[in-house]
């Protein structure tokens, strides 16, 4: 069981109660002061300590410094929690503390898990597959079996079926979001099959074969997005893959209204045509009262920094940033909330230590260029 120590912060408590943490059976310890936090770390050696920077009797910066200076506590990762926009003084204190990460509140839902997963090796899919409930018909020999397609990529799919397939390995699939939408007809090969947890039917993994260019495009469209209900009447839209001249957002726009949260962590690349398609898509969101971008990828942020219109009328709440450790020649991405970037210190990001060698990580871009998107949301 993983032990996580936190200070008494209600925003952190809410995120620790998320489904992702609950699945792991996390053991949670709470400290009400800096000295109590340090004592609990020394006695229980938690995998992760999430501490407010401001604590009674001994602040989080000093607690972190003492943890990091003790060789016996080397395995404990420390995340400091702050709010609002960081000042230059806070950035200097963060750097001197040697903290492993910074978490700014308020933050988008499930953001804390993303931070923790990267720090202590929790299950995390950096390039996730879209989880969509598609209509599917599977031809296995003379039979046609209806089912639900759950995980979809450009190369294959995970599918729940009402019946077991049996000995058939070569199948044909027809996939669509609705009866009104054009279906993608795909040849596939079953690479694994498991009995359903309910005892009826099965779950299979299918690898696509002999895909024609037009079929690839249809699959890319199906794998491009998913929409799920979030907290407080928010729709959460997950996007993945590349935005190019063939990317079509028209079907997605029909599904959006009210407040929308775009999760962009798996958007890899946007060419000039894809950027134009994306900007036109945002301009057409007339039924959305508000939209925000969370966990924006480096590829998306690079375009947002250069091209007016990529953010539309929205704002970035959190995004990935490139860091590099010169000591072990290792690159990594860090997830930051927008409030973690100091405006008064010329858009400088926090400093961190390398999780492998302990060396100082350096920001691996030009801050004024990379953070230029902040001026568009100011």
- pLDDT tens profile 121-179: 887 554 344 444 445 556 666 677 777 776 777 788 888 887 777 776 788 888 776 66
Out of 10-14, 66-70, 336-340, 351-355, pick the least confident: 351-355
CB-CB contact of 157 with 171 (8 Å): no
pLDDT (tens digit, 9 = 90+) per residue, 42-81?
A: 999 999 999 999 998 999 999 999 999 999 998 899 999 9
> What CA–CA distance (Å, rounded) separates 377 from 290?
13
Note the pTM of the prediction, 2 decimals. 0.75
Tokens encoding 58: 């001994």
CA distance to 9, 186, 330, per residue, from 30 (Å): 9, 52, 34
Q: What pLDDT does 149 receive?
A: 72
| 3-120 and 130-219 in the same fold | no
Burial class of residue 233, CB neighbours in 10 A (0-12, 13-18, 19+): exposed
Separation of alpha carbons 8 and 256, rounded Å: 37
| Assigned architecture for domain 3-120 | 3-Layer(aba) Sandwich (3.40)
What's the topology of domain 222-376?
Transcription Regulator spoIIAA (3.30.750)
| Domain segments of the chain as ranges | 3-120, 130-219, 222-376
130-219: CATH topology is Thrombin, subunit H (2.40.10)
List, for residues 308-318, the tens digit of each pLDDT value: 899 999 999 99
Average pLDDT for the chain: 85
Cα dihedral 324, 328, 329, 332 sign: negative
Assigned token pair, 179: 């009866």
- pLDDT score, position 355: 73
């Amino acid at each position: 069981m993983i032990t996580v120590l936190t200070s008494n912060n209600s925003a952190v408590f809410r995120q620790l109660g998320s489904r992702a943490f609950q699945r792991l059976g996390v053991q949670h310890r709470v400290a009400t002061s800096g000295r109590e936090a340090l004592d609990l770390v020394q006695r229980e050696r938690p995998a992760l300590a999430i501490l407010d920077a401001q604590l009674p009797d001994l602040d989080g910066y000093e607690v972190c410094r003492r943890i990091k200076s003790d060789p016996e506590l080397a395995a404990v990762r420390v995340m400091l929690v702050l709010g609002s926009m960081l000042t230059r003084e806070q950035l200097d204190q963060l750097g001197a503390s040697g903290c492993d990460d910074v978490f700014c509140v308020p933050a988008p839902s499930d953001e804390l898990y993303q931070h923790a997963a990267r720090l202590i090796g929790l299950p995390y899919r950096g390039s996730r597959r879209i989880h969509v409930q598609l209509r599917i018909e599977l031809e296995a020999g003379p039979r046609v079996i209806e089912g639900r397609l759950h995980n979809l990529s450009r190369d294959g799919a995970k599918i729940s079926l009402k019946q077991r397939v049996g000995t058939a390995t070569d199948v044909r699939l027809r996939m669509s979001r609705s009866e009104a939408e054009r279906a993608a007809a795909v040849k596939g090969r079953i690479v694994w099959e498991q009995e359903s947890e309910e005892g009826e039917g099965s779950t299979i993994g299918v690898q696509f074969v002999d895909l024609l260019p037009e079929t690839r495009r249809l699959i890319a469209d199906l794998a491009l997005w998913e929409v799920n209900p979030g907290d407080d009447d928010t729709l959460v839209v997950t996007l993945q893959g590349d935005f190019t001249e063939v990317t079509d957002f028209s079907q997605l726009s029909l599904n959006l209204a009210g407040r929308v949260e775009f999760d962009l962590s798996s958007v890899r690349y946007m060419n000039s045509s894809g950027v134009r398609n994306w900007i036109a898509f945002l301009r057409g969101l007339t039924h959305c009262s508000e939209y925000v971008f969370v966990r924006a990828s480096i590829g998306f942020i690079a375009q947002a920094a250069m091209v007016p219109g990529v953010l539309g009328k929205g704002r970035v709440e959190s995004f990935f940033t490139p860091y590099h450790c010169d000591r072990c020649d290792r690159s990594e991405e860090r997830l930051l909330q927008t409030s973690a970037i100091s405006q008064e210190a010329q858009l400088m990001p926090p400093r961190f230590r390398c999780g492998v060698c302990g060396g100082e990580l350096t920001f691996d871009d030009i801050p004024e260029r990379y953070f230029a998107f902040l001026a568009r949301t100011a």
